Amino acid sequence: MEKPLRVLLVEDSENDAKLLVRELQRGGYDVSHERVETAETMNTALDRQVWDIAFGDYSMPHFNGVAALKLLRGRGLDIPFIFVSGTIGEDTAVEAMKNGANDYIMKGNLKRLLPAVDRELKEAAGRREHRQAEETIRYLAYYDSLTGLPNRASLLDKLHQVISDSQRDGKSVAILLMDLDHFKEVNDTLGHHRGDRLLQQVGSRLQASLRPSDVVARLGGDEFVVMLPFSGSGDAVLVAQKVMTALEPPFIIEGLPVAVEASIGIAIYPDHGATPDDLMQRADVAMYAAKQSGSGVIIYNAEHDRHSPRRLALMGELRQAIEQNQLFLHYQPKIDLKTRRVIGVEALVRWKHPEHGFIPPDEFIPPAERTGLIKPLTLWIFNKAQRQCLACRREGIPLTMAVNLSARNLLDPHLPDQFVKLLRASSGASEGLELEITESAIMADPARALESITRLRALGIRFSIDDFGIGYSSLAYLKKLPVDSIKIDKSFVINMAKNQNDTVIVRSTIDLAHNLGLKVIAEGVENQDIWDRLSALGCDEAQGYYMGRPMPAEDLTRWLGESPWGLKSTNE
């Protein structure tokens, strides 16, 4: 089957052009071409359509190949350009290639034409795919993949800029933090895919109810933020009421009517905070107060910080739980896609409160991050996980042990020394230990992050980038980091079977990571179909409910011996 090829010829000889086209046709190309002799006609041709490849005669009298090459590159077009000339010498050809030409062919000897064209078209396709993947990842760094709204990183960037402008102009900025009430019940009752549809429709309604200058972002889960530039408390309350009204009509999800209620917390710059982090924290406090009171909308007041006893009590009790060793770890297996055997586990902290029972991690880890308790919490997790890793290795089970590291941990200059003390106290080596860090944690302060990672890496601890694809600002920055692997965020993996775009993102991420010498771990693998797709794409490792849920140490030992994914002790 002939391959279509759009060819632009910068050539003053019609006969020479016909010879070149004929040679391309002989090589199996279905050629459509245009011959140009001036800069004007070339610009017109470039404006009219996209070309696959361009050829230029080096020595035309008025508009030659050199001028054509400069014109092409000056427009920023990455089209392969090959000189075809009867007068070009080797030194001149080499100089031309330094200026951006891809190859040169002598008119009297077209034997090299087809191999050169095949090679350049293949390389051009590779560059396009690489650019597309980079653009996709760059987009995902600032936009939520589910709703298409700006994400947390994008919101904070915009908020920084608006606060800077407001400082100069003496104006206010309002942010509205909105959380859907009882959203977990929607997911549990109707399923996660319908929950996702609901979040998409909520995002659309929010956008439709606001002014073009307002910014709507999704932070994750069922949390949304509205930023109102140059607005005070009066405007913010009116907008919040408008949002609540917009959410009143039931949402129709696959024919099912779903009623939605929300709680909104409002914070105003400069009254309630001078930085984006301060405003977000105060809006969160106000939103929690609105949810507890059932009032729907509340503007932050310092009294709300003192009237959130549940949160304050939990943080006090968490400190006590850390000091009295009341927490415990669950371990979720990581499976090698080629061998179908477990090669490591991720340590996940759990808390069973003596009065309130099981406390979900998302209820105590984010507040711990904000209050500074994340530091002793992480040290406890690391110590417990390192000892479990050491125990497994003494039993002849060479598993890697992964521990999550927050942004606050990563930027703590004392952390490496504290880890050294823990390792010495247990008489254990760092072999098999791995720290998982998020992209957003790295980009919060790249220079300090690099310094911390380098120091920890010197201890023999390996690193993995967690939740890859949802917050990273530059894939090229990975080259500077001494990391070993990346984990593709589960939001892309889970929907691979339904969303072709997610499959493209996963494939591109795997290819790019492998090109950088990194292994790729996919999280959120929940069925055989996703496993098979990842295996076909060349993914290295997988983690998810399909292979194994998080489990306590005693269950992990049994699982390793009984599960088809398990790894028997080498001492047996």
Give the domain CATH number at 246: 3.30.70.270
In-domain check, residue 335: no
Let me know whether 417 and 545 are in one domain: yes
In-domain check, residue 157: yes
Residue 473, pLDDT score: 42
Let me know whether 138 and 175 are in one domain: no
Residue 197 domain boundaries: 152-307
- Give dist(CA 532, CA 215) in Å, integer: 40
N- to C-terminal Cα separation, the chain: 58
Which CATH number characterizes residue 36's domain?
3.40.50.2300
Question: Which of 262, 284, 307 corresponds to the end of one domain?
Answer: 307
Let me know whether 130 and 268 are in one domain: no
Which CATH number characterizes residue 390's domain?
3.20.20.450
CB atoms within 10 A of CB 145: 20
In-domain check, residue 344: no
In-domain check, residue 571: no
Question: Which of 100, 117, 142 corresponds to the end of one domain?
Answer: 142
pTM higher than 0.75, yes or no? no
Say if residues 314 and 295 touch (Cβ distance below 8 Å): no
Say if residues 344 and 366 touch (Cβ distance below 8 Å): no
In-domain check, residue 406: yes
- Give dist(CA 154, CA 144) in Å, integer: 10
Select from 262, 266, 274, 278 the least CA-distant residue to 174: 266
Select from 141, 20, 25 the least CA-distant residue to 83: 20
Let me know whether 100 and 192 are in one domain: no
Residue 87, pLDDT score: 64
Number of domains in the chain: 3
Let me know whether 172 and 106 are in one domain: no
Burial 253-276 (b: 16+ CB within 10 A, else e): beeeebebebbbbbbbbeebbeeb
In-domain check, residue 147: no
Question: Which of 307, 322, 349 corresponds to the end of one domain?
Answer: 307
Q: Which residues pair with 34 in a beta bridge?
A: 8
Paired tokens of 120:
């350049």
Q: Is the peptide bond before 270 cis (omega within 30 degrees of 0)?
A: yes
Four-residue CA torsion sign, 417, 418, 423, 427 = positive
Select from 287, 353, 266, 284 the least CA-distant residue to 315: 353
Element holding 320 (H helix, E strand): helix 309-323
Chain-centroid distance, C-alpha 387: 32
Between the CA of residue 320 and those of 182, 316, 317, 381, what are the distances in Å?
30, 6, 5, 15
In-domain check, residue 510: yes
Select from 326, 328, 333 the least CA-distant residue to 557: 333
Let me know whether 178 and 123 are in one domain: no
Angle at 230 between CA 226 and CA 233, to 5 degrees: 70
Strand order in the sheet with 53-56: 29-36, 3-10, 53-56, 81-85, 103-106
Let me know whether 397 and 440 are in one domain: yes
Select from 244, 245, 249 the least CA-distant residue to 297: 244
DSSP 71-128: HHHHTT----EEEEESS--HHHHHHHHHTT--EEEETTBGGGHHHHHHHHHHHHHHHH
- Give dist(CA 499, CA 493) in Å, integer: 10
E strand map for 146-212? 173-180
Let me know whether 291 and 412 are in one domain: no
Instruction: Give the pLDDT of the chain (572 residues) as one tens digit per residue.
Output: 689 999 999 998 899 999 999 999 999 999 999 999 999 999 999 999 999 999 988 777 778 788 898 899 889 888 999 988 876 666 676 677 777 788 888 887 888 899 999 999 998 988 888 888 777 777 777 888 889 999 988 899 899 999 998 888 888 999 999 999 888 778 777 888 888 999 999 999 999 999 888 999 998 889 999 999 988 888 899 999 999 999 999 999 888 888 889 999 999 999 988 888 889 988 988 998 888 778 899 999 877 665 455 666 777 888 888 888 789 999 999 999 999 999 999 999 999 888 878 888 877 887 787 777 899 999 999 999 999 998 888 888 889 999 999 888 888 888 888 998 888 887 767 788 999 998 767 766 777 888 889 889 888 899 998 877 654 444 556 667 888 998 988 888 888 877 787 888 888 889 888 888 899 999 989 999 999 999 999 999 999 999 999 999 999 989 998 889 986 533 33
Let me know whether 25 and 92 are in one domain: yes
- Give dist(CA 388, CA 401) in Å, integer: 8
Let me know whether 293 and 422 are in one domain: no
Let me know whether 48 and 179 are in one domain: no
Q: Where are the alpha helices (DSSP H) in 324-396?
A: 361-371, 374-394
In-domain check, residue 471: yes
DSSP tag of 296: S
Let me know whether 535 and 471 are in one domain: yes
